[in-house]
Amino acid sequence: VLLPPVVDRLIAELAKLPGIGRRSAERIAFDLVARSPDRPTALATVLMGMAESVRPCPECHLLTEGGRCSVCSDPARDRATLCVVETYADAIAFDRAVSGKPLFHVLGGRLSPLKGVTPSDLCVDQLLSRLDGSVRELILATSPSIEGDATAHYIAQEAAGRVARISRIGRGVPTGGSLEHADSETLRFSVESRRPFDG
């Protein structure tokens, strides 16, 4: 009752963000309203610009502001190596960690019968259409969990015959762990210790 409804709505929206509970949402909201209008206006402008212009890359589903993303359009990339990840955050983490500068493909999740995620919910068809002979190795960098393994297995099956080498990242990452939060050293090791996919 003490809050203007618009501040209440701001708190409700902030509290939906990952890692931000009600208390943190209130702190951020009060900080924004307590300052000069420049601050919330600048934030709103960035958010609206992002919502308007940021789209998944038509090729790999990394995020981009129009057209192919900076990875797909980078001539210095190793186009023979394609690293398949679940999320955008995973791609960023791997890209920081590995030195080979591969191409990426973001699936948009992993297979999960429990959550109703089926192959048609993931960007697998786009991935297969990229395997036109230029890619020599597919690195399956899905999470080391039952669902991540099942996803890797499915992709390996679908991609068989379309690419010379299919490998799975090694066990540097703890089973069930989140790739996004693994440190660079662990991710680098997981890629260096990758092995041929054996199903």
CA–CA distance from 182 to each of 92, 94, 144, 173, 187 (Å)?
Answer: 12, 10, 12, 7, 7
Q: Which range of residues in 62-70, 82-90, 122-130, 186-194 is near Zn ion by CB under 5 A?
A: 62-70
Pairing of strands 137-140, 165-168: parallel
Nearer to Zn ion, 106 or 152 (CB): 106
By the rule CB under 5 A, 86 interacts with Zn ion: no
Return all residues near 122 (Cβ < 8 A) that are at least 6 apart.
107, 108, 109, 110, 111, 151
By the rule CB under 5 A, 122 interacts with Zn ion: no
Q: Which range of residues in 19-27, 56-64, 144-152, 157-165 is near Zn ion by CB under 5 A?
A: 56-64
Positive or negative, the Cα torsion across 107, 110, 111, 117?
negative
Among 11, 14, 25, 60, binds Zn ion (CB under 5 A): 60
Total residues contacting Zn ion (rule CB under 5 A)? 6
By the rule CB under 5 A, 57 interacts with Zn ion: yes
Q: Rounded to a whole number, what is the largest CA-CA distance in the chain?
A: 65
By the rule CB under 5 A, 135 interacts with Zn ion: no
Q: Which range of residues in 4-12, 22-30, 72-80, 135-143 is near Zn ion by CB under 5 A?
A: 72-80
Nearer to Zn ion, 21 or 67 (CB): 67
Q: Which range of residues in 35-43, 55-63, 160-168, 186-194 is near Zn ion by CB under 5 A?
A: 55-63
3-class secondary structure, 167: strand
Nearer to Zn ion, 25 or 155 (CB): 155
Q: How far is the CB of 153 from Zn ion (least distance, A)?
A: 25
Q: How far is the CB of 72 from Zn ion (least distance, A)?
A: 3
Q: Which range of residues in 64-72, 89-97, 106-114, 191-199 is near Zn ion by CB under 5 A?
A: 64-72
DSSP class of 73? T
- Give CA angle at 72 (53, 137), nearest 5°: 140
Contact call for residues 172 and 186 (beta carbons, < 8 A): yes
Contact call for residues 127 and 151 (beta carbons, < 8 A): no
Pairing of strands 63-64, 55-56: antiparallel
By the rule CB under 5 A, 84 interacts with Zn ion: no
